Chains A and B, each alone.
Chain A
Amino acid sequence: MAERRACPKCGALLPANAPAGICPSCLMQAGLDDEAPRAPIDATAPVGRFVPPKPDELAGHFPQLEVLELLGQGGMGAVYKARQAGLDRFVALKILASDAALDPAFAARFLREAKSLAKLNHPNIVAVYDFGQHEGLYYFIMEFVDGLNLRQVIRSGQCQPNEALRIVPQICEALQFAHDEGIVHRDIKPENILLDKRGRLKIADFGLARLHTQTDYTLTGPWQVMGTPHYMAPEQLERPLTVDHRADIYSLGVVFYELLTGELPLGRFAPPSEKVSIDARLDDVVLRSLEKEPQRRYQQAGDVKTDVETILHSPAATVAEATRSVAVLPLVNAGGDPSAAYFCEGIADQLINSLSQLRRADLKVRPFAAVAAYHGQVVNARTVGRDLNVQVVVTGRLYLEADDLSISVALVKARDNSQLWGQQYHGKRSDILALQVQMAQDVAASLRLDLTSEEEQRLTRRDTHDVDAYLLYREGMHHWNKFTEERTRTAIEYFERALAKDPRYAMAYAGLAQCYAQLGNLYLPPHEGYPKAKEALAKALALDETIVQVHVMLAFIALSYDWNWAETEQHLHRATHLDPSYAAVHGVRAGYLAAMGRLGEAIGERMRAKELEPTAFRGLGLAGAYLLAGQYEDAVAEARQTLLRADRFFLARGVLGLGLALQGNHDEALAELQTASAHANGHPQILGYLGVAYAIAGRAENARSILDELMQIPRRLPGFAFHVAAIHTGLGNHDEAFQWLQAASAERYVTMIFLRFDPLFEPLRGDPRFRQLLIEIGLSRDDSGQSDCGSLLE
């Protein structure tokens, strides 16, 4: 190969594929240089409040018009009523208070925007008849709307909620039309929405906000009126020049809220139905339009219209519905004795299990993991209903004093916080098992589930008849839920004590297995945790073959530790049969599909798991699946959403940071990973990601010092070798990377099964040693050149 030449201009070495042998970056730069010279900014130009010309001052500019009166003025300019003599019609003349003198690009921008506005022909959009520039005066001649703007209507107090419901769909229609034409309004607010005398709605000033420069948006800028931020989507305030049509949908939400309640949705605002008497289903429409993240909002204005009209035309649903969805919240510990906390969780968990055991298609019960976060919180049923997407919320209070137990339980309709049913239970601590059975029966009855006798049996089934064993099991679960190593070991003790009381307590074995799997996953070498988990699962299975958790855990261990795909499938098959709506079934299947390279299906299963169990943990799973698929934008969005509900969840922040790094957004990536690292207390996964992010950002020195830090941690947690390998890969040390990957493989570290598509090891993919590793894991066959683990499934 010829020796590489240096660019005579910038001195960089020319790449082998330099276009026509010329330095590509200098070529690119040449596209920028020598732009039309910018007009010098005239510092003496008046930068102050816009003073609109008087009507007669305009006469010379517009010989075709008879300018009659000034209708209004704002930061963007002034509007006059005028008569177009030839056509004998009234028109609105808009003069732009342009900063044209300061901005030579204005003319081009004006022309482009005006042309596209003139094409917007819709009954709910103010028509643009003509536009142009005369002696530096930029103008539009528009349809004259004889009526009021929505601000005036709101102020007059004439806007009843049903009037709002007539107005909003018309706004939606106009917005949808414009969005389809690729035009975003950017400044939807009551002042820009007009109602003529016949009640027809017209939106004015489409896209005009774009004509003005960024400085106009600030409150302190010269154009005060322009700067009202209350109607602007959060992203519009942050990045005003890059917003899309969803910013208009946010503004529409603000207008909608204001029309219904007369107030702006500021800070922690109440849903509209709490302020005024309206169908509470409208809350969802308004709140969804007002979501902070554009991707959580309605994606189309037309969908807002559809939902509003559906609500208008269907009567509010009655109590008995075809499908009931229920969330049972942990009970409130009203006595205040902290040792009763596990009771409060336990009763909810047990009730959830009993109702889930019914396996009825018309009953959806949110799993305990989804409600656990509400423990110890005072919550509103309506909020829970929205967050977990359920119609009915079961709440309760518990008093435990010495040996006396009092429990009150209520069924609350999420839509309007109304109580559907309530009951008190009293007894001794030792009566808990009987009380729980009674509670499950009462709740089922109040949900109007007509149970068959077989369902009745399943509902009232007891996992143990020994109260002491049950209470020990409950305490064990309470500790297990805390996830730390110490609490997990404490949980093991409780489960073992429960088993000493009742050796036939299958659920206690399942609990034990969960603990060992957790230790093997996070704190112990996998070969110290997983075999013990398997042992406990075998015992649970022998006692009761119908526990879905047991089969899911067997599937998880077969997948992530034994790397036995056939066995994974068998256990998943059985688990699905037992309870297809158990979120973990979908989570483990997603892992299996991702290992097999079926990434699209894996993402689908992760979505399903999250839908069934809307928790941060499931959000993390989905974000991770996107990462494997190379869909970094989606991974970042999902991780951000997850962090909204669990700010200190360092694994989610880790995925966020890695996703940003892989997108090339280095500064933000490093900031997130440093935060994650502060939360993670030396977790190898976060240090690994941080090292990789430094390497990708070209900061090899920092990456090496992270590597040193990782090597100096005395206790090598699971994943240590894997993440050391990742940093070496980032640094280009491929030999070391393979050595450490071998070690991770020998350790049977769980994420090795995703190696085929793991973005951390992308640079190794072409290396024959990489294929060899895949063969060892069982993800590729050694059939020379057939690089296809998908074929194993055929």
Chain B
Amino acid sequence: MVISARNNSPESREALESLCIAYWQPLYVYARRRALDDNEAQDWTQAFFTELLEKNYLNSVSPERGRFRAFLLTAFKHFLTKEWDKIKAQKRGGGCAPISLNFHAANSAIHIDPASGLTAEQHYDQEWAISLLDRILERLKAEFGAAGKAVYFEELKGFIIGDHAGTTYADVAARLNITEEAAKKTGSRMRSRYREMLREEITQTVASPDEVDDEIRNLFAILKL
């Protein structure tokens, strides 16, 4: 991965940590599948991140070069394997969490269908893909907002996935009071900016830029499960 834990500089560790935190929700989804109830899943997730930040846990886990998505889950599994029976005691012992994870919001956003037939890993991967897309769209929205074009984003975001029967540029142009040509242009710019951001984000999580397409195909397949 681009941010390699081999490089132990504080900056790179910080970058790695922030990447971990960006994807805490998929780990929580995984934990929910392995735990007996939400409380337990929350304890595990919280304990993992506490460990991650306080005790430099990543230093003791050697990330094989490769997908960050797989690495993070492996680190979490190893943590659970080693620490599972200690987590409860730790929690009773008190101490305040260095990071606040909003489980309440997560619970209302995450819907796990127990009869879906997906494994805990597949739930993790799906949630990973959703988290990734959420991040990109949030950033894209913020960029348009900063340029005073929040309403353009709302009207045109549907065209990121290409032209389709849902709505037409003509409709959008009328609502935005611009020409159809201008709407098309902005839509196309949004689309290429989206693609750029997505590929950039994924580059952060794979061993080399060659693998970006492959990772996109994997995530696409996962979302189609």
Residue ranges of A at the interface with B (Cβ–Cβ < 8 Å): 7-9, 12, 15-17, 19-20, 22-35, 109, 112, 180, 182, 241, 244, 596-600, 603, 629-633, 662-664, 695-696, 698, 700, 730-732, 734, 757, 759, 762-767, 770-771, 774, 780, 785, 787-788, 790-791, 793-794
Q: Is the CB of A793 within 8 A of B85?
A: yes
Q: Is the CB of A631 within 8 A of B64?
A: no
Q: Is the CB of A732 within 8 A of B130?
A: no
Q: Is the CB of B120 within 8 A of A762?
A: yes
Q: Is the CB of B216 within 8 A of A28?
A: yes
Q: Is the CB of B114 within 8 A of A630?
A: no
Residues of chain B contacted by A766 (CB below 8 angstroms)? 32, 36-37, 114
16 contacts between A and B (CB under 8 A): A9-B161, A19-B137, A20-B157, A22-B137, A27-B137, A27-B161, A28-B133, A31-B199, A109-B210, A244-B65, A631-B74, A633-B74, A695-B117, A730-B117, A759-B120, A763-B33
Q: Is the CB of A791 within 8 A of B88?
A: yes
Decide yes or no: A790 and B223 within 8 Å by CB, A599-B81, A629-B77 being known contacts. Answer: no
Q: Is the CB of A25 within 8 A of B220?
A: yes
Q: Give the distance in Å from the alpha carbon of A785 to the alpha carbon of B91 in the complex.
A: 14
Q: Give the distance in Å from the alpha carbon of A771 to the alpha carbon of B195 in the complex.
A: 46
Any A CB within 8 A of the CB of B165: yes
Residues of chain A contacted by B192 (CB below 8 angstroms)? 34
Q: What's the least CB distance linking A659 to chain B, in Å? A: 11
Q: Give the distance in Å from the alpha carbon of A762 to the alpha carbon of B36 in the complex.
A: 9
Q: Is the CB of A664 within 8 A of B119?
A: yes
Any A CB within 8 A of the CB of B111: yes
Decide yes or no: A787 and B164 within 8 Å by CB, A17-B130, A24-B223 being known contacts. Answer: no
Q: Using a CB-CB cutoff of 8 Å, which residues 114-154 of chain B contact chain A? A: 114-117, 119-122, 125, 129-130, 133-134, 136-137, 141
Residues of chain B contacted by A182 (CB below 8 angstroms)? 4, 6, 65
Nearest A residue to B33 by beta-carbon distance? A762
Any A CB within 8 A of the CB of B162: yes
Q: What's the least CB distance linking B99 to chain A, in Å? A: 22
Residues of chain A contacted by B114 (CB below 8 angstroms)? 732, 734, 763-764, 766-767
Q: Using a CB-CB cutoff of 8 Å, which residues 1-53 of chain B contact chain A? A: 4, 6, 32-37, 39-40
Decide yes or no: A30 and B191 within 8 Å by CB, A9-B161, A22-B157, A787-B36 being known contacts. Answer: yes
Q: Is the CB of A34 within 8 A of B195?
A: yes
12 further contact pairs, Cβ within 8 A, besides A9-B166, A19-B137: A9-B161, A22-B158, A22-B160, A27-B161, A29-B161, A596-B85, A597-B85, A630-B34, A664-B125, A762-B120, A766-B32, A787-B39
- 8 Å CB contact of A762 from B34, B129, B225: B34
Top 6 closest A-B pairs, CB basis? A8-B166, A790-B85, A732-B115, A26-B161, A19-B133, A25-B223
Any A CB within 8 A of the CB of B198: yes
Any A CB within 8 A of the CB of B169: no
Q: What's the least CB distance linking B175 to chain A, in Å? A: 17
Q: What's the least CB distance linking A629 to chain B, in Å? A: 4
Nearest B residue to A596 by beta-carbon distance? B85
State how many residues of chain B have any CB contact under 8 Å with chain A. Answer: 70
- B176-208 Cβ-contact flags toward A at 8 Å (1 or 0): 000000000000000110110011001000001
Q: Is the CB of B81 within 8 A of A8?
A: no
Q: Give the distance in Å from the alpha carbon of A392 to the alpha carbon of B41 in the complex.
A: 51
Q: What's the least CB distance linking A232 to chain B, in Å? A: 19
Q: Is the CB of A180 within 8 A of B117?
A: no
Residues of chain B contacted by A32 (CB below 8 angstroms)? 213, 216-217, 220
Residues of chain A contacted by B198 (CB below 8 angstroms)? 30-31
Q: Is the CB of A785 within 8 A of B85?
A: no
- B75-87 Cβ-contact flags toward A at 8 Å (1 or 0): 0011011111110
Q: What's the least CB distance linking A564 to chain B, in Å? A: 20
Most B CB within 10 A of own CB, among A24, A632, A663, A732: A24
Q: Give the distance in Å from the alpha carbon of A32 to the alpha carbon of B213 in the complex.
A: 7
- 8 Å CB contact of B37 from A27, A631, A787: A787
- 8 Å CB contact of A765 from B34, B84, B191: B34
Q: Give the distance in Å from the alpha carbon of A731 to the alpha carbon of B78 in the complex.
A: 29
Any A CB within 8 A of the CB of B104: no
Q: Is the CB of B129 within 8 A of A788?
A: no
Any A CB within 8 A of the CB of B224: yes
Q: Is the CB of A734 within 8 A of B115?
A: yes
Task: Determine the main DSSP class of B at the interface with A.
Answer: helix
Q: What's the least CB distance linking A662 to chain B, in Å? A: 5
Q: Give the distance in Å from the alpha carbon of A732 to the alpha carbon of B114 in the complex.
A: 8
Q: Give the distance in Å from the alpha carbon of A30 to the alpha carbon of B160 in the complex.
A: 7
Q: What's the least CB distance linking A761 to chain B, in Å? A: 11
Q: Give the distance in Å from the alpha carbon of A34 to the alpha carbon of B216 in the complex.
A: 14
Decide yes or no: A787 and B161 within 8 Å by CB, A19-B130, A599-B81 being known contacts. Answer: no
Any A CB within 8 A of the CB of B61: no
Q: What's the least CB distance linking B176 to chain A, in Å? A: 18
Q: What's the least CB distance linking A741 to chain B, in Å? A: 15
Q: Give the distance in Å from the alpha carbon of A35 to the alpha carbon of B33 in the complex.
A: 37
Residues of chain B contacted by A12 (CB below 8 angstroms)? 224
Q: Give the distance in Å from the alpha carbon of A35 to the alpha carbon of B209 in the complex.
A: 14
Residues of chain A contacted by B174 (CB below 8 angstroms)? none
Decide yes or no: A630 and B130 within 8 Å by CB, A16-B111, A20-B141, A25-B223 being known contacts. Answer: no
- 8 Å CB contact of A17 from B35, B85, B110: B110
Residues of chain A contacted by B167 (CB below 8 angstroms)? 8
Q: Is the CB of A9 within 8 A of B119?
A: no
Q: Is the CB of A8 within 8 A of B164?
A: yes
Nearest B residue to A16 by beta-carbon distance? B111
Residues of chain A contacted by B6 (CB below 8 angstroms)? 180, 182
Q: What's the least CB distance linking B81 to chain A, in Å? A: 4
Decide yes or no: A765 and B35 within 8 Å by CB, A28-B129, A30-B194 being known contacts. Answer: yes
Q: Give the distance in Å from the alpha carbon of A733 to the alpha carbon of B78 in the complex.
A: 31
Residues of chain A contacted by B88 (CB below 8 angstroms)? 788, 790-791
Q: Is the CB of B36 within 8 A of A771?
A: yes
Q: Is the CB of A31 within 8 A of B216?
A: yes
Residues of chain B contacted by A241 (CB below 8 angstroms)? 210
Decide yes or no: A31 and B195 within 8 Å by CB, A8-B166, A631-B81 being known contacts. Answer: yes
Decide yes or no: A630 and B40 within 8 Å by CB, A31-B195, A791-B88 being known contacts. Answer: no
Residues of chain A contacted by B119 (CB below 8 angstroms)? 662, 664, 696, 759, 762
Q: Is the CB of A662 within 8 A of B85?
A: no
- 8 Å CB contact of B36 from A31, A109, A664, A765: A765
Residues of chain A contacted by B109 (CB below 8 angstroms)? 16-17
Q: Is the CB of A765 within 8 A of B33?
A: yes
Nearest B residue to A602 by beta-carbon distance? B81
Residues of chain A contacted by B33 (CB below 8 angstroms)? 762-763, 765
- 8 Å CB contact of A244 from B64, B84, B133: B64
Q: Give the distance in Å from the alpha carbon of A30 to the alpha carbon of B140 in the complex.
A: 15
Residues of chain A contacted by B40 (CB below 8 angstroms)? 787-788
Q: Give the distance in Å from the alpha carbon of A644 to the alpha carbon of B160 in the complex.
A: 50
Q: What's the least CB distance linking A89 to chain B, in Å? A: 33
Any A CB within 8 A of the CB of B219: yes
- 8 Å CB contact of B80 from A20, A180, A630, A734: A630
Q: Is the CB of A30 within 8 A of B195?
A: yes
Q: What's the least CB distance linking B125 to chain A, in Å? A: 8
Q: Give the distance in Å from the alpha carbon of A30 to the alpha carbon of B223 in the complex.
A: 13
Q: Is the CB of A25 within 8 A of B164?
A: no
Residues of chain B contacted by A731 (CB below 8 angstroms)? 117
- 8 Å CB contact of A9 from B82, B85, B162, B191: B162
Q: Give the distance in Å from the alpha carbon of A780 to the alpha carbon of B35 in the complex.
A: 13
Residues of chain B contacted by A696 (CB below 8 angstroms)? 117, 119
Residues of chain B contacted by A790 (CB below 8 angstroms)? 84-86, 88
Q: Give the distance in Å from the alpha carbon of A767 to the alpha carbon of B129 in the complex.
A: 27
Decide yes or no: A28 and B117 within 8 Å by CB, A182-B4, A600-B81, A762-B34 being known contacts. Answer: no
Q: Is the CB of A112 within 8 A of B209?
A: yes
Q: Is the CB of B121 within 8 A of A662?
A: yes
Q: Is the CB of B111 within 8 A of A27?
A: no
Q: Give the distance in Å from the alpha carbon of A22 to the alpha carbon of B4 in the complex.
A: 33
Decide yes or no: A629 and B195 within 8 Å by CB, A31-B216, A785-B39 being known contacts. Answer: no
Nearest B residue to A245 by beta-carbon distance? B65
Residues of chain B contacted by A35 (CB below 8 angstroms)? 213
